[in-house]
Amino acid sequence: MLECRDITKVKNYFNEYLLHILHRHKEATHVWNILASVSGLLLAQLMRIIFFSTLFTDYWSESWPINKKFSSAKNYVNLGLFKGSRQLNWGFGPRYKSFSVYEELHDRVGFVSKVPWVFILFFFAIGILWNAMGAVVALLNTVARETDTVAGPKGIYLWSVLAAVSYASALITFLIQYVTTIQNNVLLSEHINSGFSTENRTRLSFSFYFVTTALVLLLIPCLLVYGTSSNKRNSEGEKQLNVDHSVFILEKERTKKTFASVEVLISGRLTTNFFLI
């Protein structure tokens, strides 16, 4: 039967083991927090650079107009969110001309639908705002202690998700515009009347794919924060295992009483049988 000092040794060993496990979980959680904060800060800066650079390019889609009357070898139309460029051959060689998407919308001569265009810019603006918030929170988390508010790792997760939703909404809106309008025509009525056509001769360009890639990278801080939360939940689970060890002593006392009762019962029966014999 175990002595009280043996129970104490087991209790001390169990406490030391739990402290070791909790310390390891704490270190792992701290590492995950640093990774989430640093990656969130770097990716937020990268996202802003990508979005600001792609917003003002005219390479969201590319088209190659054809005209049966003239040579179409050097014809092209590049379209962006704010500006674009057209080079068409009217029979006297290619003629280049840049255009403003806003001006064509304002003059009601363009092919871009106004409502989707406004929503695309709105979603991008909101996404950049969430990115800025995420960058501030990530910067604070690299120097401040962890908190369970939106100013802590949860904030990195929140702002990253909101930014991703905003950018995804902008891309989906642009794709709807592309499928319904841009893919069929990127020319003005005067070009169409002169025999030019871009039907089935348009494709998405590199600016669209850059933003899509950046959107995928934006999910990395979310995964790191999820890893942090998982480690934290495991740590809390280990803490719950640190129960009151007095139950072992109580169980020891119950066991001693049970054995004592059995010994008394057996000795009593043996005595009775002896006298009967």
Domain-wise residue ranges, the chain:
18-240, 245-277
Least confident of 51-60, 75-84, 150-159, 255-264: 255-264
- Run of H or E including 94: strand 94-100
CB-based burial label for 234 (10 Å; 0-12, 13-18, 19+) = middle
Q: How far is CA 268 from CA 26, 259, 261, 262, 265, in A?
A: 58, 14, 11, 10, 5
**Residue 68's pLDDT band (cuts 50, 70, 90):** confident
Backbone phi, psi, residue 84, to 5°: -160, 180
**107 or 256: whose pLDDT is higher?**
107
Q: Chain-wide mean pLDDT for the chain?
A: 73
Q: How far is CA 275 from CA 179, 265, 267, in A?
A: 106, 16, 13
The string of pLDDT tens digits covering residues 209-241 is 988 988 888 777 667 666 555 545 544 444 444
**169 or 252: whose pLDDT is higher?**
169
- Residue 84's pLDDT is 93
Scanning the structure block, which residue is given the tokens 């403003």? 100
Give the integer Cα–Cα distance in Å for 192 and 195: 5
Which residues are within 8 A (CB) of 69 and not within 5 positions of it... i.e. 6 or more apart? 91, 194, 195
Scanning the structure block, which residue is given the tokens 């175990």? 2
Give the integer Cα–Cα distance in Å for 24 and 73: 66
Is pLDDT of 251 > 60? no
Give the integer Cα–Cα distance in Å for 159 and 40: 10
Phi/psi region, residue 187 (left: phi>0; alpha: psi -120 to 50; beta: rest), is: beta
Tokens at 88, concatenated: 């068409």
What pTM was estimated for this model as a whole? 0.67
CATH fold of 18-240, please?
A: Butyryl-CoA Dehydrogenase, subunit A; domain 3 (1.20.140)
Q: Where are the alpha helices (DSSP H) in 56-95?
A: none
